[in-house]
């Protein structure tokens, strides 16, 4: 049985003529990757740099644009075991989606549907409820119980 794959980005275009490609990242840890898979073939990263909202990636196996151009539009995946560990006390968005969100008074608000960034802080979406990702609101994240404990500030919902 093959290992589960995680989509980490999309190959959106070529860059230059030496086989570099532009990848739109789906995950915050993209720059920590050493290798990834495109359509079942593994590629090793020789260098990578950020350019606005994409990464320009040079693959060890590719020296000519013609060797990679036909894969444009493909999803970039990694083995689940290759996913880097987040820093202590931090979590990846995709790991928290589906967690039960419970108030510190015991009321179940529902499941976490999404987390998006507004620039100032993250916003946690639970159904139609939007919660700011600040210490005053997000009190505890418990991966073992798959729960997020929140404090509802007066006037928040």
Per-residue pLDDT, 66: 87
pLDDT digits over 45-66, tens only? 999 999 999 999 999 999 888 8
Provide the greatest CA pair distance for the chain.
60
Per-residue pLDDT, 81: 87
The dihedral of CA 89, 6, 54, 98: what is its sign? Answer: negative
User: Which stretches of the chain drop beneath a pLDDT of 50?
Assistant: 1
Class of domain 93-150: mainly beta
Domain 5-82 of CATH type 2.40.30.60: yes
Q: Where are the beta strands (DSSP E) in the chain?
A: 5-15, 20-25, 35-38, 41-51, 54-59, 75-79, 100-103, 108-111, 114-117, 122-126, 129-132, 138-142, 147-150
Name the segment(s) of the chain with CATH classification 2.40.30.60.
5-82
Name the segment(s) of the chain with CATH classification 2.30.30.240.
93-150
Does this model's pTM top 0.75?
A: no
Per-residue pLDDT, 107: 95
Asked whether 12 and 72 are in contact (CB, 8 A), the reply is yes
What's the rounded Cα separation, in Å, for the pair 131 and 22?
A: 34
Among 107, 109, 86, 102, smallest CA distance to 138 is for 102
What's the rounded Cα separation, in Å, for the pair 33 and 120?
A: 27
Among 66, 71, 81, 146, smallest CA distance to 111 is for 146
């Amino acid at each position: 049985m093959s290992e589960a794959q995680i989509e980490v980005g999309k190959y959106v275009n070529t860059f230059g003529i030496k086989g570099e490609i532009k990848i739109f990242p789906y995950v915050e840890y993209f720059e920590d990757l050493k290798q990834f898979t495109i359509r079942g073939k593994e590629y090793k990263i020789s260098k990578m740099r950020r350019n606005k909202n994409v990464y320009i990636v040079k693959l060890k196996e590719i020296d000519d644009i013609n060797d990679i151009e036909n894969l444009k539009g493909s999803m970039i995946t990694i083995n689940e075991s290759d996913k880097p560990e987040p820093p202590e006390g931090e979590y990846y968005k995709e790991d928290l989606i589906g967690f039960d969100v419970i108030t510190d008074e015991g009321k179940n608000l529902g499941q976490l549907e999404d987390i998006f960034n507004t620039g100032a802080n993250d916003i946690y979406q639970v159904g139609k409820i939007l919660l700011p990702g600040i210490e005053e609101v997000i009190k505890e994240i418990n991966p073992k119980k798959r729960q997020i404990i929140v404090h509802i500030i007066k006037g928040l919902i």
